[in-house]
Structure 1
């Protein structure tokens, strides 16, 4: 019996010694890992929780072949203020090459005849080429087809400052796009001009899926940052009804009648768009490793209220110094109310713009938008209204004040 207890006692002592040695080895191992592993400082992006330090190689280190060029893509939907936000980069100065809606011709030619996955792949290839200053992938979609890389026009050419300046803007007749004497667009000259610029930015409302951009984000030749711009779906619809009266005639009729058929195809389409925007944002907000420090979610309402502050944050995110030219442009274009404002203009009183839609959208329409876009509105911090009185009460904010601020 004594021998039995002795054996048990010896076993317990041995286990204690082994556990202590294991703890010592573990502490030594942890100390060695801390010495040899870089610990990046946690960074906080507006509206998102701070990132945890990574032991793995930082995705930013994979872009050593970009030559110092920064690439920015503004991802949005129609009437979200993307033209206005795009001007933050278009007005940056001489070292920025900016393109406005480069996917216009792709969608015009293929959207109704090509399935979504194939179209998304084409979007990716065209954007990749343009970020590398190669206009060749885009040429095959321009109609009529460019002759010797020269096209008489390019969609909204005037909206890209680089394409209306020398050497791209060659002498010629007055160009309806550039609104000055400018010959047909030579895409070879445009490519050469692009290559001389330090940074490149684009904005598009024709791309829905954020995840198709992964090959571009991981391309070592690019240093791509994605800004997803969102806006209250009720405000978007109000703006579209005013800007595109023919396309949104059904909504205008329903608004006058005070009744929206909830099972109509137009309502289903609105739900699909809200869902796609939300799904893309959820990809970005989930912070997959390939998107860390490369995705920014931006609310248009916050830009209209604090344009200078948000511009500074956008430039900081992009890794580009905030230029004096861009700063001056923002000051000029956010404190003015033109007598007859062009719906495509970037000049406006930004504070007035934020809630303007609340006085033009009928409550019944707003109610249906809330019904089909509720999850999206909740994700982005847009409050619902229960009656018309609340909708038009400017003292009642429809924004979560703590969201993205």
Structure 2
């Protein structure tokens, strides 16, 4: 056999070899018997029999190239108790095939990662890899943390309803493949300072838009003061919290100017002055129509307003609620620490308890700093 003929035969065999290797390496976590471990075709049939939808996904993943294009990405960048649960759910209901990464950095606990250190870099790298749908086995601890977070599994239903039948919710290959099949990837990021977003905005291989959500820091601090999870200074100390907010707002102005089509600043209080108009403005930025599922969220059946992760509540009624649940002394302490970001956001500074409790006095008194 001459050399040219040998080369042709080897080239013809490569696709078969590659497919067999891919099945063996990527479907192994789903095998249930020793026989399936030695027979890739039976292993694939096992997946199909467990769940027909998963089976179609697995067949598709075998046939497509490994560098399958990533889904479109929308990041809601904010902090705890800033209206992110409600706003994130609105965004997630735009399209049915949505991979919703709720608090993907949960493994790093309740701190704001703002220093350029190993911890912050590791958190950013995980986020970056997740957004690229490349979750490798080294992230097992991180994805296990998400698997154990009930709200992540509840809200990322596109993923959870497919992984649970196969017990694959912590399988990094399965997570990567599911991420790639989505039409859109929504990520709610609340543990990183905004300056880390520059790297994502400059990434040429990501179809990404970032929405930065800010809320009156007095409302944020008031809500966090009643939550047992908030122990670190970056979460509970007024001086630290408002210093970080001020730093974020500096980045907001720069990003809005540099990336007007990829970055948007929104303010919780202004969105829910007119929730329908606020929703339409958000969807116009991401170039998607308003869905019926989103409209249903705007007119919910009221639930416990103190429920920490409730979305079925009147968001507009929450805007001023902190004014009636905190004494003026406490609010005054927040105001002293947060005067600069409060003013930058165009919000009223209350001079007395009478003003604080007088809800006829509007909270918004001027345009925010970006106007």
Q: TM-score scaled by structure 1?
A: 0.66
1:399 maps to which of 353, 357, 364: 364
Aligned to 1:102: 104
* Bigger mean CA offset, 136-145 vs 284-293: 136-145
Cα distance in 2 between the residues matched to 1:78 and 1:269 = 13
C-alpha distance 286-66 of structure 1, shift in aligned 2 (>3 A): farther
Aligned to 2:196: 212
Q: Report Cα offsets for 1:134-160 as digits up to 9, x if no partner.
A: 222772543869xxxxx9635632232
Aligned to 2:268: 300
Cα distance in 1 between the residues matched to 2:299 and 2:189 = 24
Q: How many angstroms does 1:232 deviate by? A: 0.9
CA RMSD of aligned residues (A): 3.3
Could you say which structure has the larger radius of gyration? 1
Q: TM-score scaled by structure 2?
A: 0.71
What are the residue-to-residue correspondences of 1:54-203 with 2, within 5 Å?
69-107=71-109, 116-136=116-136, 139-142=139-142, 153-154=148-149, 156=151, 157-165=153-161, 167-170=162-165, 184-203=169-188
Q: Report Cα offsets for 1:349-394 as digits up to 9, x if no partner.
A: 2232111111111111111111110001011111101110000001
Kindly indicate which of the two structures has a greater share of residues assigned to helix: 2
Aligned to 2:213: 229
Q: How many angstroms does 1:289 deviate by? A: 6.2
Cα distance in 1 between the residues matched to 2:69 and 2:177 = 16
Aligned to 1:321: 289
Cα distance in 1 between the residues matched to 2:179 and 2:166 = 19
Q: How many angstroms does 1:73 deviate by? A: 1.1
**Cα pair 2:101 2:156 within 8 Å, conserved:** yes
Cα distance in 1 between the residues matched to 2:229 and 2:243 = 24
Q: How many angstroms does 1:171 deviate by? A: 5.9
Cα distance in 2 between the residues matched to 1:357 and 1:365 = 11
Unaligned runs of 5+ residues in structure 1 are 1-64, 146-150, 173-182, 249-264
Q: How many angstroms does 1:268 deviate by? A: 9.3
Aligned to 1:342: 307
Q: Report Cα offsets for 1:140-196 as digits up to 9, x if no partner.
A: 543869xxxxx963563223222322x223167xxxxxxxxxx75444323222111
Cα distance in 1 between the residues matched to 2:143 and 2:183 = 30
Q: How many angstroms does 1:116 deviate by? A: 4.4
Count of matched residue pairs: 303
Aligned to 1:50: none
Cα distance in 2 between the residues matched to 1:266 and 1:212 = 16
Unaligned runs of 5+ residues in structure 2 are 1-66
